[in-house]
A and B are shown apart, each in its own frame.
Chain A
Amino acid sequence: MPARIGVVLFPGSNCEHDAVEAVRTLGGDAEVLWHGDDSLKGVDGVIVPGGFAHGDYLRPGAIARFSPVMQAVQAFAADGGPVVGICNGFQVLTEAGMLPGALQKNAGLKFLCRMATLRVETTDSVLTSATDEGAELRVPVNHFEGNYTCDDETLAMLRAEDRVVVRYVENVNGSIDDIAGVCNEGRNVVGLMPHPERACDELLGSSDGAPLLRSLLESASRASV
């Protein structure tokens, strides 16, 4: 049975269709989870997609973390369920305290939509288990607040615990230590700024995002057993 991925939809999210399409293209099953519901409807994995949840008002992710669905996502993650936050989803997960650090404005102080090259730093996460360590992947970024930051202590911890999941080969936004994505202690919650769902078809310029989402689908399948 294909893994069922729930894609959370807040008012202002806009990458939910794309996440659903990419999951289905890769053989998974996907459904949209409304932010006002407090149930995940028995899905095997969760994507918190990109966009501008609640208009990014106050701060990206600052309001979304209070939505009823996030209680359910937190409980799901605490039980070891795979959760991936992409772009605005990463911002939501840091605001919700599910991932360390924060995303500040890009060093160039401009919105940036372009192709980036990522290096897989660990295969021990729900987003990279089906990839090779050191693999370079072409995946687009699309954000204004994607400049990852954290305090020295947190950075030391992330390094020591091998929790930097992907780094930029060429740092596009000023992120500390070139960090593009990190995971939690349980390695089942990953947040990253680049958009793997935008890189699942050569017709669109790259299919390098497919192994990342395939990792999530495999993790979700294992979780559902």
Chain B
Amino acid sequence: MAERTDRDPVEQDPSVHRALGLTDDEADEIARILGRPANHLELAMYSVMWSEHCSYKSSRVHLRRLPSEAPHVLVGPGEGAGVVDVGDGIAAAFRIESHNHPSAIEPYQGAATGVGGILRDVFSMGARPIALMDPLRFGPLDDPRSRWIAEGVVSGVSGYGNSVGVPTVGGETIFDATYQGNPLVNVFCLGVLPQDRLALARASGPGNLTVLFGSATGRDGIGGASVLASASFTEGDDEKRPSVQVGDPFEEKRLIEACLEILEAGLVVGIQDLGAAGITGAASETASKGGVGMDLYLDQVHVREEGMDPFEIMISESQERMLAIVEPAKLDELLAICAKWEIAASVIGTVTGTGRFRVLDRLDGELLADIPASSLDDDAPLYERPLAEPADRAERAADTAESLPAPADAGADLLALLADTSWVWSQYDHQLFLNTVVGPGDDATVLRLKDPRTGEPTGRGLGLTTDGNHRWCRLDPRTGMAAVVAESVMNLACVGAEPLALVNCLNFGNPEHPEVMWQLSEAIDGMAEACRALSVPVIGGNVSLYNESNGVNIDPSPVIGTVGLIASLERRPPGMGLVEGTTLVVLGAPATTLSGSAWAWSQGHREGMPPQVDLDGVRATAAFVRDAVAGDRLRSVHDLAGGLGPAVAEMTVATQVGARVELPAPGGHVALFAETPAAVLAAVDPGSLDALLADAASAGVAAQVVGEAGGDRLVIGDLVDVSVAEAHGAWRDRLPTALGAGTTQG
């Protein structure tokens, strides 16, 4: 029987801990903590908790450099989600996570369970999830397998998110060769809660009960975190398919309702969702954070099948489960709420005052594991992995895209960069809860903020945006990351929102490669610098390493989700669509850097330095744009992170109104395609132009008139002259045509 082997100490057989992904040094450390060799069950528990995915052992020393505090931050990094004060006793909880590796193996379920997991992080804090966003990265559109992954992932987000009843209100979809074989599926969730309902993952009070509720525990997802998320991909990955969990959105929907009812009634002292590392993670973390111990009785866990081994029960990643710490007197009330929502619940343990985390086969039964509760969490290894900047860094930086020959047909190149992403987001319910003022496809999403208790509108709004730019970050992770933070602040400004905080999802390659660790460290420094300058605290996130395929690391791809507040949401923001007869003005420092642009990439150029950002200038420009939007002074607005040419073209196709634009310095194709996060293109009524220019001058914000909107052609300098219909068709048809070309799983 497996139980016998589980509890036998592992004599010095290194093959066992190595098979579980523990290094020899880590195994020695475990033996030192326990004062004896660990048995198989204990090794399995340490192996998941000390995995890269759960312990952040390679990144924690760097993450500490991020600013995380501000007066409005109620909960910072380290909990299920970060929480900020949004006024009137209301708080917003949000987080972003990756589900990259499961989605590469099984796109539908990988994406679906990614959605399920991020939802639990948010509602376990007491917040009702009201918005999801999905930044997605796939291999190139001309690769059939990448299309298969894209279709599966989008279906998975749609199938789970729509059914669970949380709208997907934004995100990004990017196709690039760097993600061939290793797609990125990041999921962001935001919830709102009355501040007095805030719940934390803390166990306390010896004698209190540990209650597991939700789905039964099965053999799915055994070691998902350690097997999938903490190792690289090679051929033969189909064998890992049993490690991918299967989601049930109907179970999760009932779990949300039951959980919020339980928290509203004040029935728990602490609560945590079960994610990676399953019962081991949720139970040991609540005990460790509460400074107590816990006994668990495995015969009480409701399981899907007979004969599960103790280690399977303890590390299963079956979805849709929660763990709560409950005073005995309140147990019946909690069980009644679970019964109403048809949610199974079991008392599986007791809080103790011993500080030990013990696993028994039954109450007063055989002791299967006995370890210090805090050791799974606090004693996890911390690595200062070697960093090395690329040897050819200076040489690569000097090879700028300005050296590329000018395009033969700039208009054709411009149209090739346009893509309507509604093929993706029309598959998502993006309207549920009647909050969505601006949905997917614009610079930022705008939601009405309603009081979560009464449902009454507060008159305020939330701005949400997810941003990432692997091109800029590949050229220089530090400069590129700072530019991405600036872009998110500018996106929020375009809808009139002032940033409150951001969460990050750090998607990088193999941390055992010194150059990847250097990228990670540099990106964190760039984020820290920009967040300090722009007053945006980082209140949580997720690190996804080992994003590599057949030995090639992805370009560094940090993604952020930034949330802002709109103080008075009286009308819809102007949006990007052009209005006939308006004057076009660039507000902020115009773009001058061609390296790292989408056009340079399309030409196969991947060197040079990305746009350098004057953060003080970004701060001033964002404030000016935000005020102009709030004051209803702009008729349209769009950020210039995609370049002036693509920005005008996107504004043209949005309302099918043409434009005539003269390119600012340095002119030519550089001015057409150069990108900057520091400026926007705004359209104003001619009559209000002078006042806007005067106010920009007194605010110290550069403003330059570049053209006017109107007509049925898009004309940019002497480089582009296309009909609006042609531009609109190219934009509209790109994804449906490419994705209609068939897929292959092979």
Closest to B570 in A: A203
Interchain CB contact under 8 A, B434 and A14: no
Cα separation A12 to B341 with both chains bound (whole Å): 10
Say yes or no: A55 contacts B249, CB within 8 Å. Answer: yes
Complex Cα spacing A112 to B422, Å: 10
Q: Are B250 and A203 in contact (CB under 8 A)?
A: no
Contact A54–B436 (Cβ < 8 Å): no
Report whether A12 and B431 are in contact in the complex, using a CB–CB cutoff of 8 Å: no
**C-alpha spacing A56/B431, complex, angstroms:** 20
Assess A114 versus B426: contact at CB under 8 Å? Given A12-B250, A52-B253: yes
Residues of A within 8 A of B434 (CB): 18, 21-22, 197-198, 200-201, 204
Question: Is B437 touching A203 in the complex (CB atoms < 8 A)?
Answer: yes
- B254, A113: Cβ atoms closer than 8 Å: no
Q: Which of B248, B250, B431, B437 contacts A140 (CB 8 A)?
A: B431
Let me know if B432 is at the binding interface, CB within 8 A. Answer: yes
Q: Which of B562-617 contact A (CB under 8 A)?
A: 569, 571-572
Contacts of B455 in A (CB 8 A): 17, 20-21
Asked whether B158 is an interface residue with its Cβ less than 8 Å from the other chain, the reply is yes
Interface residues of B in 445-469 (CB under 8 A from A): 448, 455
- Of the candidates A12, A113, A195, which one forms a contact with B253 in the assembled complex, judged by CB atoms under 8 Å apart? A12
Is A52 within 8 A of B249, CB to CB? yes
Residue of A nearest to B165 (CB): A14
CB-based nearest A residue for B168: A113
Contacts of A195 in B (CB 8 A): 431
Interface membership of A11, Cβ < 8 A: yes
Residues of chain A within 8 A of B300, CB atoms compared? none
B residues 252-285 near A (Cβ < 8 Å) are 253-254, 257
User: Across the interface, do B250 and A142 meet the contact criterion of CB distance under 8 Å?
Assistant: no
Instruction: Give the contacting residue for B431; candidates A52, A55, A198; CB below 8 A.
Output: A198
Chain A residues with CB under 8 A of B257:
11
Contact B158 A18 (CB under 8 A): no
B712 interfacial contact with A, CB 8 Å? no
Q: Which residue of A lies closest to B428 (CB)?
A: A113
Residue of A nearest to B166 (CB): A14
Is the C-beta of B723 less than 8 angstroms from some C-beta in chain A? Answer: no
Closest A residue, CB atoms, query B343: A11
- Is B39 at the interface (CB under 8 A from chain A)? no
- Cβ of B726 within 8 Å of any chain A Cβ, yes or no, is no
Contact check: which of B163, B422, B436 meets A55 at CB < 8 Å? B163
Within A91-145, the residues touching B (CB, 8 Å) are: 110-114, 140, 142, 144
CB contact list, A47-62 vs B, under 8 A: 51-52, 54-57
**Considering the chains assembled together, what is the distance between the CA atoms of A111 and B151 in angstroms?**
12
Q: Does B429 contact A (CB under 8 A)?
A: yes
A113 to B424, CA, bound (A): 10
Q: Does A15 contact B (CB under 8 A)?
A: yes
Within 8 Å of chain A (Cβ to Cβ): is B690?
no
Q: Name B440's closest neighbour in chain A (CB-CB).
A: A113
Does B354 sit at the interface, judged by CB under 8 A? no
Chain A residue numbers with a CB within 8 Å of B571 are: 203
Q: Find out whether the CB atom of B432 lies under 8 angstroms from the CB atom of A18.
A: yes
B165 to A203, Cβ gap below 8 A? no
Contact of B342 among A11, A14, A111 (CB under 8 A): A11
Tell whether B173 is near chain A: CB-to-CB under 8 Å.
Answer: no
CB of B383 closer than 8 Å to a CB of A:
no
Are A56's CB and B427's CB within 8 A?
no
User: CB distance B427 to A111 under 8 Å?
Assistant: yes
- Contact yes or no, B249 A113, CB < 8 A: no
Q: Which of B394-435 contact A (CB under 8 A)?
A: 422, 425-434
A144 to B164, CA, bound (A): 14
Decide: B341 and A113 in contact? CB cutoff 8 A.
Answer: no
A111–B257 CA distance with the chains assembled, in angstroms: 24
B162: interface (CB < 8 Å) = yes
Closest Cβ of chain A to B179, distance in Å, is 23
Q: Are B250 and A52 in contact (CB under 8 A)?
A: yes
Among A11, A20, A51, A54, the residue within 8 A (CB) of B341 is A11
The residue in chain A whose Cβ has the minimal distance to the Cβ of B435 is A204
CB-CB contacts below 8 Å: B141-181 with A: 158-159, 162-165
Are B254 and A12 closer than 8 Å at their CB atoms?
Answer: yes
Complex CA–CA separation, A78 to B458 (angstroms):
41
List the B side residues contacting A20 at CB < 8 Å.
455
| Given contact pairs A52-B249, A52-B250, A113 touches B431 in the complex (Cβ within 8 A) | yes
Q: Which residue of B lies closest to A52 (CB)?
A: B163
* B235 CB → nearest A CB, Å: 32
Kindly list chain A residues whose C-beta atoms are within 8 Å of the C-beta of B428: 111, 113
Identify B433's interface contact among A11, A18, A142, CB under 8 A: A18
Q: Is the beta-carbon distance between A17 and B433 smaller than 8 angstroms? A: yes
Compute how far the CA of A54 lies from the CA of B253 in the bound complex, rounded to whole angstroms: 10
Residue of B nearest to A56 (CB): B163
Report whether A11 and B253 are in contact in the complex, using a CB–CB cutoff of 8 Å: yes
Among candidates B164, B429, B433, residue contacting A113 with C-beta atoms closer than 8 Å:
B429
Contacts of A142 in B (CB 8 A): 162, 429, 431-432
Nearest-neighbour CB distance to chain A for B588, whole angstroms, equals 28
Q: How far is the CA of A18 from the CA of B162 in the complex (A)?
A: 15
The CA-CA distance from A195 to B165 in the complex, in Å, is: 15
Bound complex: CA of A15 vs CA of B433, how far in Å?
A: 7
Closest Cβ of chain B to A118, distance in Å, is: 16
Q: Complex: how many Å from CA A12 to CA B256?
A: 11
Most buried by A among B425, B431, B572: B431
B171 CB, min distance to chain A CBs, angstroms: 14
Residues of B within 8 A of A21 (CB): 434, 455
Q: Specify which chain A residues have a CB less than 8 angstroms from the CB of B426 in the assembled complex.
A: 110, 112-114
Closest to B128 in A: A17
A200 / chain B contacts, CB cutoff of 8 Å: 434
The docked-state distance in angstroms from the alpha carbon of A88 to that of B250 is 14
Mark each residue of chain A from 186 to 202: 1 if its CB lies under 8 Å from any CB of chain B, else 0: 00000000010110110
Considering only residues 333-374 of chain B, those with a C-beta below 8 Å from chain A are 341-342
A206 to chain B, nearest CB (A): 11
Q: Are A111 and B162 in touch, CB under 8 angstroms?
A: yes
Select the residue from B164, B341, B433, B434 with max chain A CB neighbours within 10 A: B434
A52 and B436 contact, CB distance less than 8 A = no
Question: Which residue of chain A lies nearest to B254 when distances are taken between CB atoms in the complex?
Answer: A11
**CB distance A110 to B427 under 8 Å?**
yes
**Which residues of chain B have C-beta atoms less than 8 A from A203's C-beta?**
437, 448, 569, 571-572
Looking across the interface, which residue of chain A has its beta carbon closest to that of B423?
A: A110
Query: A155 CA to B188 CA in the complex, in Å?
Result: 45
- Flag if B436 contacts A113 (CB, 8 Å): no
Q: How far is the CB of B318 from chain A (nearest CB, A)?
A: 17
- Min CB–CB distance B213 → chain A (angstroms): 15
Contacts of B436 in A (CB 8 A): 204
Q: List 12 A-B contacts (CB under 8 A).
A: A11-B253, A14-B165, A52-B165, A55-B163, A55-B249, A111-B429, A113-B425, A113-B429, A144-B162, A200-B434, A204-B431, A205-B437
Which 7 residue pairs of A and B lie closest in terms of their CB atoms, listed nearest first?
A55-B250, A14-B165, A52-B163, A111-B427, A111-B158, A18-B434, A113-B429
Instruction: Known A-B contacts: A20-B455, A55-B250. Give 9 more (CB < 8 A).
Output: A14-B164, A52-B162, A52-B253, A110-B158, A197-B434, A198-B434, A203-B569, A204-B431, A204-B434
